[in-house]
Amino acid sequence: MSTAPENQVDELATLREEIETLRQNLVDKNRQLQDLQAAQRATAAANNGANNGVPANFSTPHVNDLTKDEIERYSRQLILPGFGVTAQTKLRNSSFLIVGMGGLGCPSSQYLVAAGSGRIGLVDYDLVDRSNLHRQTLHTECTIGLPKVESAKSALLQINPNCEIITYKTLLNSGNALEIIKQYDVILDCTDNVVTRYMLNDACVLQHKPLVSGSALQFDGQLTVYHYGEICPCYRCLFPVPPPPQAVTNCGDGGVMGAITGVIGSMQALEAIKVATGVGETLAGRLLIFDGANGIFRNIKLRGRRSDCKVCSTNPMITQLIDYEFFCSMHASDDNQALQLLSPEERIDVRQYIDMRSEPHLLIDVRPPNEFEICRLPSSVNMPLKDVLDNKFVEEFQNELDDKKLPIILVCRRGNDSQIAAQHMCNKYPSHTIRDIVGGLYAWHYQIDNEFPIY
Ligand SMILES: Nc1ncnc2c1ncn2[C@@H]1O[C@H](COP(=O)(O)OP(=O)(O)OP(=O)(O)O)[C@@H](O)[C@H]1O
Ligand SMILES: [Zn+2]
């Protein structure tokens, strides 16, 4: 006999509660583990030099200042020709600031911590989300909802408890960047937005810090080291003017293959290690381009420092941090990115759409076909935005458009593209009722049905 629907609902709720309690337990246990490990390290440090019952003349002195644990832990790195104790010790005396604990920050911090870096700062304002887990490999099912910096710190200390890890759960901006950056030797840009790229670049130039910069989108990645050495350009030398906001795509909109961020993030760690130890040739003055779809690495030579660069030239115009959101006409965080193209009366919200669903209407989903395939509202038809803008709807929906009373509703993922489509269609058919749904499928998930998937 099958369970009654209301029992299933109760059972589901109980299971969810139990999972939540277990998750919270795991987080608490992880914290306890970290505290115990810290106490253990403190005791070991206090006992350092004590002979633990072994006669004094039998205790072995540390070789070249590396402890027994360090020699064992880094043995495969220590025996590398050209690396050795000197580089290992330099690494231990170095500090790295990783800005962004997402797709790039996770692998780069993982390798820097595992390799024996002395001190690592982690900066991120965001919380772990389930959609992060396919690429942000330090975060897990158990740390969903926790600050990314805390989730990462706990995972990193499991790898190497000897590394000092400092967390900053904050948006790095003009107000706090210089103060934080000055405490570290090498800075890694693992963020995903143009505003932070310019801000970090200028802050690193002002503080004379090398900047290891990575980016990953879809199947592609890029990597270089800015402002390192005499002639190496800064980000502004290459891009004096920010791109127009509509030309910028992030992972949330364009998608990204997790392994691409793994490749670029690991290489950022490698570049940072080379900068800190002086071993090997860094990518300063060169840009590494990774075409993951075709398995091709390219290395292109970059121009030298720009003599009229606003920040790194001998007579810079920028001598302190500016308002980068204003400079780029964009936001640094994912918040408040909603486009305001149409007035409220030209739009409907999800509840209004629910009310009109029983009446005849045409619901057009303007997302790309691969996203439409992931999930869709019942009875919606797909016409991607670019086809709407090419007027393909004129032919495709000729009958519906002939019926002037039939409302046409446009929907997309978050309610931005649907506004562009609605505005375009309204210009062509001004007497027709054409509306878009505020907040799109996200609003549907949050306000109507949280079983409806979001991505
Ligand atoms: N100025 C900043 N200060 C602190 N953290 C930042 C800043 N700008 C971006 N970040 C962080 O950088 C990380 C970039 O990660 P990633 O590119 O993998 O994207 P995401 O924001 O986690 O995910 P998605 O774009 O899929 O929603 C994010 O965790 C974001 O919070
Ligand atoms: Zn410059």
List pLDDT tens digits, range 355-388: 999 999 999 999 999 999 999 999 999 999 999 9
Q: Tens of pLDDT along 325-343?
A: 999 998 887 654 678 899 9
Looking at residue 56, what is its pLDDT?
45
Could you read off the pLDDT of 213-252 as tens digits, one per residue? 999 999 999 999 999 998 999 999 999 999 988 788 888 8
Q: What is the DSSP string of 255-314?
A: -B-HHHHHHHHHHHHHHHHHHHH--S---BTEEEEEETTTTEEEEEEPP---TT-TTTSS
**121 in contact with ligand 1, CB cutoff 6 A:** no
pLDDT digits (tens, 9 = 90+) for 69-84: 999 999 999 999 999 9
- Between 247 and 172, residue with greater pLDDT: 172
Assess whether the C-beta atom of 176 lies below 6 angstroms from ligand 1. Answer: no
Token pair belonging to 138: 């330090």
Ligand closest to CA 414: 1
Q: What's the rounded Cα separation, in Å, for the pair 435 and 421? A: 10
Residue 163 annotated as lining a ligand binding site: no
Please choose, from the candidates 282, 277, 264, 275, the residue with its C-alpha nearest in 3D space to the C-alpha of residue 107. Answer: 264
pTM for this model (two decimals): 0.81
**Domains of the chain, each with CATH number or no CATH:** 94-328 (3.40.50.720), 344-448 (3.40.250.10)
Residue 372, classed as helix, strand or coil, is: helix
Q: Which ligand is nearest to the CA of 330?
A: 1
The verdict on whether residue 232 carries a ligand-binding annotation is no
106 labelled ligand-binding: no
What is the C-alpha to C-alpha distance for residues 150 and 250, in angstroms, rounded to an integer? 24
Q: Which residues are catalytic?
A: 251, 412
Q: What percent of the chain has pLDDT over 90?
A: 78
**pLDDT at residue 54 greater than cutoff 50:** no
One-letter identity of residue 105:
G
What's the CA-to-centroid distance between 99 and ligand 1, angstroms?
9
Q: Which residues pair with 436 in a beta bridge?
A: 347, 410
Q: Is 317 a residue whose pLDDT tops 50?
A: yes
Residues near ion ligand 2 (Cβ under 5 Å): 234, 236-237, 309, 312
Distance CA 447, CA 441 (A): 10
- The protein residue whose alpha carbon is closest to atom 5 in ligand 1 is 124
Residue 53 pLDDT greater than 70, yes or no: no
Band of pLDDT at residue 47, cut at 50, 70 and 90: low
Mean of all residue pLDDT scores within the chain: 91
d(CA 85, CA 348): 66
Place of tokens 């995972």: 155
